[in-house]
Amino acid sequence: MSECIFCKIAAGEMGTEFLYEDDQVVAFRDLNPVAPVHILVIPKRHIPSANDLTEDDNDLIGHIFGVIRNLAQKENLDQGFRIVNNSGREGGQTVQHLHFHLLGGRQLHWPPG
């Protein structure tokens, strides 16, 4: 039994509403949104972080970016959006299952904290 919360979400064990699902990925809204649109896109397979990707995952990552583009269109983010991946402790990663944040719906600033 996995202790990983995102594995449980991906398996449908938490009753999370999916904005998108296929055999490789799921997308759902962040529990603590920091923008009007804040969606997480994750692989169903447990990959701890971006630092654990291999060349075998290149298609998966390309697929995830396509899913994000489609979600951005559905959420009417025609003025722009941001894709974020936090990796490792200094990268600010708090859930140790690879995920990409899709943020939008307000003016985003740079640099991040």
Residues of this chain that bind ligand 5GP (CB under 6 A): 5, 28-32, 40, 86, 92-95
* Main-chain dihedrals φ then ψ at residue 57, nearest 5 degrees: -95, 0
Minimum Å distance from CB 37 to ligand 5GP? 13
Closest residue to Zn ion, based on beta-carbon distance: 4
Q: Which of 46, 99, 101, 109 is catalytic?
A: 99
Enclosing H/E stretch for 62: helix 58-74
Active site residue 99: yes
> How wide is the angle at C-alpha 25 spanned by C-alphas 16 and 64, nearest 5°?
125
What CA–CA distance (Å, rounded) separates 2 from 110?
Answer: 36
Q: Which stretch binds Zn ion (CB under 5 A): 12-20, 38-46, 77-85, 99-107?
A: 38-46
Residue 83 half-sphere exposure, CB side, CA atoms within 13 Å?
14
- Among Zn ion, ligand 5GP, none, what does residue 93 contact (CB within 5–8 Å per kind)? ligand 5GP
* Residue 46 binding Zn ion, by CB under 5 A: yes
Instruction: Tell me the catalytic residues.
Output: 99
